[in-house]
A and B are shown apart, each in its own frame.
Chain A
Amino acid sequence: MQDVAHFIRYRKRQDRIFNVVGAICTLIGILTLVVLLGDLLIDGLPRINWQFLTSFPSRFAYRAGILSAIVGTICVMIVTMTAAVPLGVAAAVYLEEYAPRNRLTTIIEINIANLAGVPSIIYGLMALGLIGLCAWLEAVVRDGTGWQITLNPGRSILTAGITLGLLVLPIVIVTTREALRAIPNAIREASYAAGATKWQVIRHHLLPYSMGGIATGTIIAMSRAIGETAPLITIGALTFIGFLPPSPISSSPPFINFDWLGSQFTVLPIQMFNWVSRPTEDFHRNAAATGLVLIVFTLTMNAVAIVVRYRLRRKLKW
């Protein structure tokens, strides 16, 4: 009898111990986040002021700022979003609603899963290689026919945006597919019964109902893209940009231009990497401040995504 009591006590103690160990391990994760934020705050917060946000990079740490990096990040993100969201949503709609169950579909699906696991720097190499290819083609055409054609997007905002767009494409596709899959078939059948065509079902029902999911996926994809450094370094984003891309709005007709797409640029993570790599303490403070701005961007985006997802889950009852 005493044996059993002893046994039960032992087992209960075992559970209690693991409860503590598990909680500690979970805490390590949370604590890392807190310490990371605290470290950045201590190092970087004193450096954040109006001058820092509105100055160009400089040889002197106290004069340097992140204006061109912020503008560059925003420009690149606009291109990334324009590239990734329509393509990703269209691909997801195809895979969920149109794709027949055949070998090609399986290949596409496996391919997307693999693309999600390709290291980001490989995307950078791809872009670098394609830039080289475009330059080579230009030269061949010029030598052969004498025509001056422009294929090469160069080390521009356009190249960077498209590269990052392709990088986050799998995220958009996967989240959109999940949102589409959550829509019950009854909705589709009801609108088919009312005489809608496939495209009408998608446009008037499936896309509006999955808008929340698509928005969540887009935000998460953007928050991933905004912090991506490696592929942009490979493309050759510069770190010392003392100018802003040309304004998209001009005073003479046609008033809107897209010259900014071809502009050279820098982005926040690259600016931060550059400052981290310098030996002096002042620049490290600048790096911390840049990191703080960056992390505020990403964490806010993620928080918004979590809230959107949570509210959707509560609101939508099929």
Chain B
Amino acid sequence: MSQATAERRFPRVRPRRDTTAGARKRRDLREKGIGLLLFLAGASSILVTAAIVFVLVYESIEFFRHVSIVEFFTETRWTPQFANPKYGILPLVCGTVMTTVVALAVALPIGTTVAIYLSEFAPHRLREVVKPALELLSAVPTVVYGYFALQFVMPALKYVIPGLPTFNMLSAGIVMGLMIIPYVSSLSEDAMRSVPMLLREGSYALGGNKFITAINVVVPSSLSGIGAAYILGISRAIGETMIVAIAAGMQPNLTLNPTEPAATMTAYIVQVSLGDLPHGSIGYQSIFATGFLLFCMTLAFNVGGHILRRKFHQAY
């Protein structure tokens, strides 16, 4: 091999002469600068939270200058568009709670059963296929779910409940429940699988079958993880917007009957945003007050879920 070929194939690595004091100082400076930049990126998430809280609090304060907090929480009518407007958040909260309850009635039993099945019963290969397939459920855009609720689930429900109005909380809630199944099942299953095999073997040795072991050993030991999954599912359902905006109707309605139409807090925000309210009007500020309450509700659930999850991580 000639000198030239060798040089081409194995280019001589020239040691970089950055051992002099000046070069080292420059390098250290660069390292520090990069560290600072990365820190700023990390801290930027705090800025986002700060911006959210600032905007919500600022506009809510403006809102509560015109509407008393007592009226906001005790008045039972939400009629911002009337000549004599009433701002009682209760009907909107009621709509949110009712759709959430319907969604949970669907998602929690199914999600938990799926988690137990995948963690304790299903063969390994089936689980490897089914889990990502189920997670696709949460990847479908919510506006598509809204269409599904309005155009498929509602007509189907009409066969069972004649006289069901076109917009109703039931179909929106059911579809929302189907959407959050993977949130519930995925996290619960992770918790169940982190239960040590020893505990199961103890149960088998005492003559337990799979079902008994799952119900009496696995589920109790992973309870905090399952709880965290439930709570995250709830928070997801409260904040869900498009499904309820499309399928549950836009009229505030203080009712506990899920077959009636009712607006949720999120649906109200959408409704106002669709119209072009001038900046600074009470209607404009009211969506921030509603959003602030929504933010506080989901925050409470998220923090609760976080604490529970940390507890289950410490368990073993």
**A115 touches which of B45, B116, B241, B274 (Cβ 8 Å):** B45
Contact A39 B152 (CB under 8 A): yes
Contact B144 A129 (CB under 8 A): no
Please report the C-alpha to C-alpha distance between residue A181 and residue B270 in the assembled complex, in whole angstroms.
40
Contact (A29, B178) CB under 8 Å given A119-B294, A291-B144: yes
Contact A30 B298 (CB under 8 A): no
Contact (A122, B147) CB under 8 Å given A91-B44, A108-B43, A111-B49: no
Contact A276 B55 (CB under 8 A): no
Contact A117 B143 (CB under 8 A): no
Chain A residues within an 8 Å CB radius of B37: 90
Chain B residues within an 8 Å CB radius of A204: none
**B31 touches which of A32, A95, A199, A234 (Cβ 8 Å):** A199
Chain B residues within an 8 Å CB radius of A199: 30-31, 34
Contact B113 A22 (CB under 8 A): yes
CB of A63 within 8 Å of the partner chain: no
Chain A residues within an 8 Å CB radius of B199: none
Give A98-124 interface residues, CB cut-off 8 Å to B.
98-99, 107-108, 110-115, 117-124
Stretch at the interface among B79-87, B232-240, B253-261: B232-240
Contact (A91, B139) CB under 8 Å given A12-B209, A130-B55: no
**B48 touches which of A30, A40, A115, A121 (Cβ 8 Å):** A115
Please report the C-alpha to C-alpha distance between residue A95 and residue B39 in the assembled complex, in whole angstroms.
8
Chain B residues within an 8 Å CB radius of A133: 55
**A119 touches which of B211, B274, B298 (Cβ 8 Å):** B298
Please report the C-alpha to C-alpha distance between residue A188 and residue B109 in the assembled complex, in whole angstroms.
46
Chain B residues within an 8 Å CB radius of A107: 46
Please report the C-alpha to C-alpha distance between residue A29 and residue B185 in the assembled complex, in whole angstroms.
11
The distance from the CB of B303 to the nearest CB of chain A, in whole angstroms, is 7
The distance from the CB of B55 to the nearest CB of chain A, in whole angstroms, is 3
Contact (A15, B211) CB under 8 Å given A124-B273, A166-B48, A295-B140: yes
Contact A227 B143 (CB under 8 A): yes
Chain B residue at smallest Cβ distance from A279 = B166
Please report the C-alpha to C-alpha distance between residue A12 and residue B209 in the assembled complex, in whole angstroms.
7
**A229 touches which of B27, B235, B242, B295 (Cβ 8 Å):** B242
Q: How many residues of B contact A (CB 8 A)?
A: 92
Please report the C-alpha to C-alpha distance between residue A129 and residue B59 in the assembled complex, in whole angstroms.
8
Please report the C-alpha to C-alpha distance between residue A130 and residue B53 in the assembled complex, in whole angstroms.
12
CB of A244 within 8 Å of the partner chain: no
Chain B residue at smallest Cβ distance from A133 = B55
Contact A95 B144 (CB under 8 A): no
Please report the C-alpha to C-alpha distance between residue A40 and residue B143 in the assembled complex, in whole angstroms.
12
Please report the C-alpha to C-alpha distance between residue A23 and residue B110 in the assembled complex, in whole angstroms.
11
Stretch at the interface among A74-82, A249-257, A258-266, A298-306: A298-306
CB of A51 within 8 Å of the partner chain: no
Contact (A26, B117) CB under 8 Å given A121-B291, A129-B55, A229-B143: yes
Contact A110 B38 (CB under 8 A): no
* Binding site secondary structure of chain B: helix
Contact B209 A14 (CB under 8 A): yes
**A33 touches which of B35, B140, B288, B298 (Cβ 8 Å):** B140
Chain B residue at smallest Cβ distance from A11 = B209
Please report the C-alpha to C-alpha distance between residue A72 and residue B203 in the assembled complex, in whole angstroms.
58
* Mask: chain B, 20-49; 1 = CB below 8 Å from A; 0 = not: 000000010011001101110111111011
CB of A125 within 8 Å of the partner chain: yes
Contact (A112, B117) CB under 8 Å given A18-B211, A125-B269, A291-B147: no
Q: List 8 A-B contacts (CB under 8 A).
A: A15-B210, A18-B214, A29-B133, A29-B181, A32-B137, A33-B140, A90-B41, A121-B269
Q: Give A contacts to B, CB under 8 Å.
A: 11-12, 14-15, 18-19, 21-23, 25-26, 28-30, 32-33, 35-36, 39-40, 43, 86-87, 90-91, 93-95, 98-99, 107-108, 110-115, 117-126, 128-130, 132-133, 135, 166, 169-170, 173, 197-199, 223-224, 226-230, 233-234, 236, 269, 272-273, 276-277, 284, 287-288, 291, 294-295, 298-299, 302, 306
**Besides the known contacts A18-B116, A113-B306, A291-B143, 6 further A-B residue pairs in the complex with CB atoms under 8 A apart:** A23-B122, A98-B38, A117-B235, A118-B299, A230-B242, A234-B287
Q: Give B contacts to A, CB under 8 Å.
A: 27, 30-31, 34-35, 37-39, 41-46, 48-49, 51-52, 54-56, 58-59, 109-110, 113-114, 116-118, 121-122, 130, 132-137, 139-148, 150-152, 178, 181-182, 185, 207, 209-212, 214, 232, 235-236, 238-242, 245-246, 266, 269-270, 273-274, 276, 279-280, 287-288, 291, 294-295, 298-299, 301-303, 305-306
